[in-house]
Amino acid sequence: MSNAKAQKQENIVSMFDDIAPTYDTANRVMSMGVDISWRKKACDLAFDYYGKENIEKIVDVACGTGDMMGYWKKQAQKADLHVNSLVGVDPSNGMVDVARKKFPNFNYHISKATEIPLEDANADILSITYGIRNVMERQEAFYEFNRVLKKDGLVVILEFMKDENKNILKKIRDIYMHKILPYVGGAISKNLAAYTYLPDSIENFVTIQGMQKELEKAGFEMLHTQSFSMDISTLMIARKK
């Protein structure tokens, strides 16, 4: 990683350390709670694609305050599936501290997405929700996800994707993302810069088609792509070949 990329990555981690105490509240207010349905849908579809009643390990990368891990557990219980171990990986100590308080029975590692401290072919499902946009070495992370997953294991991604084909609804979405969201998040967190970063990072991000190519290059086969709520959020599920 170049020095500039390394510094940017450190700045992002520091930013999440700073907003960790108010992160959950800001998320719920800004999304009006609709992100909960996106997360549940991701879990349910992944379980359907995986097709096993006993799952040894689910790893959530960029786990933040642990929300997605909680939904993996809740949706597994609802589907009468057994998950032996839930593991969270995140470089932000502040975010993981919040996660540990919310979900003390899960396992955690303070680590980058490109350096997951697990053995090869160790996980059944690996998720990253609204976190891959913050990984500077995205292609290297996808190779690392492939390494950690068992053969036929699934990678599950929820993310705000760049969209080059903008209709009137997407323009309205952009107004919300750029003109309203930063000030709502900034007011809650007392960190305007952190929530200005969010829409800016989407504009500079990859398209759905671009990410599909990156996943395929890393050894994955695309199974499912779906966008929600005026294409604000996109779900991608791919299988390790």
Binding residues for S-adenosyl-L-methionine: 65, 90
| Residue 182 contacts residue 195 (beta carbons within 8 Å) | yes
Please state the residue numbers annotated as binding site: 65, 90
Nearest CA-CA partner of 86 in 50, 114, 60, 119: 60
How many Å apart are CA 118 and CA 173, to the nearest integer? 39
Sort strands 82-90 and 220-228 into parallel, antiparallel or unpaired: unpaired
